[in-house]
A = this chain, B = another copy of it.
Amino acid sequence: MSSFGRIFRISTFGESHCAGVGVVVDGVPSRMSLSAADIQTQLDRRRPGGNKLGTERNEADQVQILSGIENGLTLGTPIGMLVNNKDQRPGDYGSMSQVPRPSHADYTYQQKYGIHASSGGGRSSARETIGRVAAGAIAENYLLEEYGIEIVAWVSSVGIHDSDNVDMETLTRAQVDDNEIRCPDSRAAEKMTAEIVAAREAKDSVGGVVSCVCRNLPAGLGEPVFDRLEAKLAHAMLSLPATKGFEIGSGFSGAGMRGSSHNDPFVKKGEGLGTSTNNSGGVQGGISNGEPVYFRVAFKPPATIGQEQQTVDYSGKETVLEAKGRHDPCVVPRAVPIVETMAALVLADLVLIQKMRI
């Protein structure tokens, strides 16, 4: 249940305070050049920074490649990767909190397993995504080398502030990383930054939306029924902590439209066909049509806040909870590379599956 993908398949392991977190990546094509540096770049992008927006923890998160690569080339065998946890001391049960944190997974883990990790968020911790990002970097590397596929995500809203000035056709990661908020629309970025600072000052947190575009996909990716491209993407995105929604192409606003304006007419593009509009989001009948695939992912405000919260303990007794320490008031800037990762994992899998048909 901790695996994702059919052919390009990852299995992650690890929680907050165990020895380490990592991943086994199976199904990676052989003879692809790959180095630890290729992987470290994305890991560094997802790392909590030392800036005013994120938490002040500074985790090095240095990846160690355990297998599957020799002399800089993939062998076609599983690639094991490990990132050690700095703080491996689990809490002891005596001091373990008797109060499940509201909108955290403490209570549901306890209901599911009859036990939960004594501190941290267990497998629901953002730390679990390290394994995904390490694997996703390999997928991205493959997609780019073999097909020229580019995946770029960015912050398109924080709280009620939206960006509206982004060119999906040309957007680059360098442009996204140009500011800390990872919103390439600099005017919107300013408002978003102010919102995050305000939330922090109010000992509160704030949600947001990450958008993502995948360019240069060949037509034909995705399966017609249960493994439609958008279904796989939705699954991938909603498997990320704190996500509440997914939409592709016209999305929920498309539900308000008439067919005559929603349909994407075909036009001649180069040697083949394209569409003159892209309300479909690059997917028709669950299969890529060669146009850019773009989608949006909603993230709720982080559940950990400094304010006092009225709640009850496991026995049902009323109590007040107040989080200690410093916490990230908004996850969406850090979520950007994680969204790219999940898109890359989906596409690498579908590209390999489609290879069987050609």
Partner of A2, one of B20, B26, B236, B289: B26
On whether A312 and B30 interact (CB within 8 A), knowing A246-B245, A252-B244, A303-B259, the answer reads: no
Any B CB within 8 A of the CB of A65: yes
* A contact residues, range: 35 or more
Assess whether A95 is interfacial by the CB under 8 Å rule: no
**Is A61 close to B, CB under 8 A?**
no
Instruction: Give the distance in Å from the alpha carbon of A176 to the alpha carbon of B7 in the complex.
Output: 39
> A118 contacts the other chain (Cβ, under 8 Å)?
yes
Q: Does chain B have a CB within 8 A of A173?
A: no
**CB-CB nearest in chain B for A207:** B255
CA–CA, A298 and B336, complex, Å: 24
Q: Is A338 interfacial (CB-CB < 8 Å)?
A: no
Known: A30-B357, A124-B286, A288-B108. A266 touches B226 (CB 8 A): no
Q: A30-B114, A123-B77, A205-B259 are in contact. Are A22 and B66 (CB under 8 A)?
A: yes
- Give the Cβ gap from A326 to chain B, nearest Cβ, in Å: 14
| Segment among A40-48, A50-58, A164-172, A216-224 that sits at the interface with chain B | A216-224
A113/B260 contact (C-beta < 8 A), A226-B2, A245-B246 known = no
- Within the complex, the shortest CB–CB distance from A132 to chain B, in Å, comes to 9
What CA separation (Å) do A296 and B78 show in the bound complex? 30
Which chain B residues lie closer than 8 Å to A238 at the CB level? Answer: 228, 230-231, 233-235, 246, 248
Chain B residue at minimum C-beta to C-beta distance from A26? B2
- In the complex the two chains form, what is the Cα distance from A90 to B73 in whole Å? 12
Cβ of A305 and Cβ of B260 under 8 Å apart? Answer: yes
| Residues of chain B contacted by A354 (CB below 8 angstroms) | 112
Q: Beta-carbon contacts of A198-210 to B below 8 Å, as 1s and 0s? A: 0100101111110
Q: Which residues of B contact A256 (CB under 8 A)?
A: 157, 159-160, 207
A191 within 8 A of B: no
A311 contact set on B, CB distance < 8 A: 265-267
- Which residues of chain B come closer than 8 Å to A18, judged between CB atoms? 66-70
Given known contacts A66-B14, A122-B77, A312-B273, A223 and B1 CB-to-CB distance under 8 angstroms: yes
Chain B nearest CB, measured from A310 CB (Å): 6
State whether A78 touches B12 (Cβ < 8 A): yes
Known: A108-B289, A259-B302, A273-B314. 12 other contacts (CB 8 A): A1-B353, A13-B24, A19-B67, A31-B115, A75-B122, A108-B288, A202-B260, A252-B252, A259-B305, A263-B305, A265-B309, A266-B311
What is the chain B residue whose CB lies nearest that of A160?
A: B256
A115 touches B352 (CB 8 A): no
A272 cross-chain contacts in B, Cβ below 8 A: 316
A49 at the interface (CB under 8 A from B): no
